[in-house]
């Protein structure tokens, strides 16, 4: 199968960047299909740490073409800045050669950020925990037929028409919310200028990818966030505003729904950033220890991540939903010294009913039922073969396979490229 899709299984931050980095060595195209610069992948390269937000992780391999697909919402000012930062870091980015942006992708402007932050403030206690970067409002405008597209940035007449529509409706809303209105000329000038910088990269990316697929090129699709943040299948309303599961990989790239190998990535435990239900969360000292051991602070926002035990109910659900044929389990090294190691295998509702499927409602009330396994004390970062893992670590992985119904083909035992066990 020439197309592989890597998706996060829970709420993001599973270490997809590292997985994509080593898979990209064998890919011709690396494609992002959703989210915006609220996502972030951290790569630990031989040359040091590299954090990516919008640019696909394949950019560190010079032979790959990196595509920002139509399903992504693009803040063009951020993108220009990210390209400049990556170039300063010594990466070669040649717009039109190894970086393409879909002309159909929607654009985030400052007004979206203002709207995002305003809405989050209004929600008060019911806040979602968005990054305030305008992602949600840009997707809402796309669905509301108000949006600006990347292709507009290099087509003055089209940009004028799009802005007229956008500003008419936005200003009515902004005035009602007591926010300052938008100026069409100012927006036009700013967007045209960034459009000029990005011009060589702006293409019909869907057509490029379909041609590549027909020609048998190896396409690697990288998910952002995770299946449980999917706007429809996730823990609504505490979700992102796009389709973060595999369904989004087709609509967000323009590739037809042909067979693809789906790899689900999850940590050896669970984390979540922002608000929303999290059945196996540890709101205690063990949770704090996991956060410190795993350095669980967001790569984009620095926000501390909530930490908890491995949740086989959630992983099973997301595995089915995403079509994952296998799991990559990351951060197994982090569990060193945690003993015992509980794995959630079912949930119990307040009225005593047992659930072994992940529910759409009542998730905040469920109590997980755990199977408890012995922990291990050894440092795993130098281990490269499954049979060299301590017995307890092997048993832990085998129990994950049993309880999720998915084979664990790859285990990551540290942030660096070579710290990986392939089975």
Mention every residue, 6+ apart, whose C-beta is less than 8 A from residue 214: none
Task: CB nearer to ligand GDP: give 103 or 222.
Answer: 222
Binding mask 267-306 for ligand GDP (x = CB under 6 A): --------------------------------x-------
Distances in Å between the Cα of 380 and the Cα atoms of 55, 295, 325, 329 are 31, 16, 25, 13
Q: Which of 67, 91, 415, 421 binds ligand GDP (CB under 6 A)?
A: 415
Q: Point out the catalytic residue in the list 41, 112, 233, 243.
A: 41
Bridging pattern class, strands 73-74 and 106-107: parallel
Q: Which of 15, 56, 274, 279 binds ligand GDP (CB under 6 A)?
A: 15
* Burial of 413 from C-beta contacts in 10 A (0-12 / 13-18 / 19+): buried
Quick one: which segment of 160-168, 240-248, 282-290, 406-414 binds ligand GDP (CB under 6 A)? 406-414
- C-alpha distance across the termini of the chain, in Å: 19
Q: Kindly state whether residue 42 participates in binding ligand GDP, applying the rule CB under 6 A.
A: yes
Q: Kindly state whether residue 230 participates in binding ligand GDP, applying the rule CB under 6 A.
A: no
3-state secondary structure 27-58: CCEEEECCECCCCCEEEEECCEEEEECCCCHH
Q: Kindly state whether residue 14 participates in binding ligand GDP, applying the rule CB under 6 A.
A: yes
Q: Kindly state whether residue 264 participates in binding ligand GDP, applying the rule CB under 6 A.
A: no
The contacts found for 140-146 with CB under 8 angstroms, 24 or more apart, are 140/241, 141/106, 141/112, 141/166, 142/73, 142/106, 144/169, 146/170
Minimum distance, C-beta of residue 99 to ligand GDP, in the bound complex (Å) = 19
Minimum distance, C-beta of residue 267 to ligand GDP, in the bound complex (Å) = 8
Sign of CA dihedral 74, 75, 80, 83: negative
Q: Measured between alpha carbons, how far is 216 from 163 in angstroms, rounded to an integer?
A: 40
Quick one: which segment of 92-100, 276-284, 362-370, 411-419 binds ligand GDP (CB under 6 A)? 411-419
Q: Measured between alpha carbons, how far is 107 from 49 in angstroms, rounded to an integer?
A: 28
Minimum distance, C-beta of residue 95 to ligand GDP, in the bound complex (Å) = 24
Task: CB nearer to ligand GDP: give 101 or 290.
Answer: 290
Q: Kindly state whether residue 252 participates in binding ligand GDP, applying the rule CB under 6 A.
A: no
Angle CA 258–58–326, to nearest 5: 50
How many CB atoms lie under 10 A from the CB of residue 371?
Answer: 16
Q: Kindly state whether residue 56 participates in binding ligand GDP, applying the rule CB under 6 A.
A: no
**What residues form DSSP beta bridges with 8?**
265
Task: CB nearer to ligand GDP: give 153 or 229.
Answer: 229
**What residues form DSSP beta bridges with 48?**
45
Minimum distance, C-beta of residue 364 to ligand GDP, in the bound complex (Å) = 25
Q: Measured between alpha carbons, how far is 222 from 216 in angstroms, rounded to an integer?
A: 18
Q: Kindly state whether residue 141 participates in binding ligand GDP, applying the rule CB under 6 A.
A: no
Q: Which of 8, 56, 195, 308 binds ligand GDP (CB under 6 A)?
A: 8
Q: Kindly state whether residue 77 participates in binding ligand GDP, applying the rule CB under 6 A.
A: no
Q: Is 9 helix (H, G, I), strand (E, B) or coil?
A: coil
Q: Which of 18, 113, 133, 316 binds ligand GDP (CB under 6 A)?
A: 18
**What residues form DSSP beta bridges with 342?**
372
Quick one: which segment of 36-44, 170-178, 207-215, 368-376 binds ligand GDP (CB under 6 A)? 36-44
Residues from 305 through 364 that contact ligand GDP (CB under 6 A): 330-331, 333-334
Q: Which of 4, 6, 7, 16 binds ligand GDP (CB under 6 A)?
A: 16
Task: CB nearer to ligand GDP: give 12 or 58.
Answer: 12
The reply to whether 13 belongs to the active site is yes
* Peptide linkage before 89 cis (omega within 30 of 0): no
Quick one: which segment of 7-15, 27-35, 281-289, 366-374 binds ligand GDP (CB under 6 A)? 7-15
Q: Measured between alpha carbons, how far is 381 from 331 in angstroms, rounded to an integer?
A: 10
Q: Kindly state whether residue 44 participates in binding ligand GDP, applying the rule CB under 6 A.
A: yes
Residues that are catalytic? 13, 41
Which residues lie near ligand GDP (CB under 6 A)? 8, 12-18, 40-42, 44, 299, 330-331, 333-334, 412-415
């Amino acid at each position: 199968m020439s197309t592989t899709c890597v998706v996060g299984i829970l709420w993001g931050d599973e270490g997809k960047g590292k997985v994509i980095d080593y898979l990209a060595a064998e890919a011709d195209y690396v494609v992002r299909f959703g989210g915006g610069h609220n996502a972030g992948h951290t790569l630990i390269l031989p040359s040091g740490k590299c954090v990516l937000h919008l640019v696909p992780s394949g950019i560190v391999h010079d032979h790959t073409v990196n595509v920002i697909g139509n399903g992504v919402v693009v803040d063009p000012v951020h993108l220009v800045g990210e390209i400049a930062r990556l170039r300063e870091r010594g990466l070669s980015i040649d717009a039109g050669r190894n970086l393409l942006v879909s002309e159909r992708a929607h654009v985030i402007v400052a007004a979206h950020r203002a709207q995002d932050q305003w809405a989050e403030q209004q929600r008060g206690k019911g806040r979602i925990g968005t990054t305030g970067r305008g992602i949600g409002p840009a997707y809402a405008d796309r669905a509301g037929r108000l949006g600006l597209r990347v292709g507009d940035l290099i087509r003055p007449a089209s940009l004028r028409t799009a802005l007229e529509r956008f500003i008419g409706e936005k200003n009515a809303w902004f005035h009602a919310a007591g926010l300052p209105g938008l100026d069409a000329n100012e927006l036009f000038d700013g967007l045209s200028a960034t459009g000029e910088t990005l011009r060589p990269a702006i293409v019909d990316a869907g057509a490029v990818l379909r041609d590549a697929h027909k020609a048998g090129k190896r396409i690697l699709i990288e998910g952002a966030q995770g299946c449980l943040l999917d706007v429809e299948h996730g823990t609504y309303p505490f979700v992102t505003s796009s389709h973060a599961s595999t369904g989004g990989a087709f609509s967000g790239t323009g590739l037809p729904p042909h067979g693809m190998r789906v790899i689900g990535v999850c940590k050896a435990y669970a984390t979540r950033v922002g608000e929303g239900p999290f059945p196996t969360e540890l709101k205690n000292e063990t949770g704090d220890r996991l956060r410190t051991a795993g350095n669980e602070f967001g790569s984009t926002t620095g926000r501390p991540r909530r930490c908890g035990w491995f949740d086989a109910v959630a992983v099973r659900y997301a595995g089915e939903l995403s079509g994952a044929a296998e799991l990559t389990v990351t951060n197994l090294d982090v569990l060193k010294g945690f003993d015992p190691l509980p794995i959630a295998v079912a949930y119990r509702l307040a009225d005593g009913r047992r659930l072994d499927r992940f529910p759409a409602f009542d998730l905040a009330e469920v109590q997980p039922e755990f199977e408890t396994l012995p922990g291990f004390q050894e440092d795993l970062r130098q281990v490269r073969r499954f049979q060299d893992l301590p017995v307890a670590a092997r048993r832990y992985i085998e129990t994950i396979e049993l309880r999720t119904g998915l084979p664990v083909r790859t285990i990551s035992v540290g942030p660096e490229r070579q710290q990986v066990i392939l089975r």
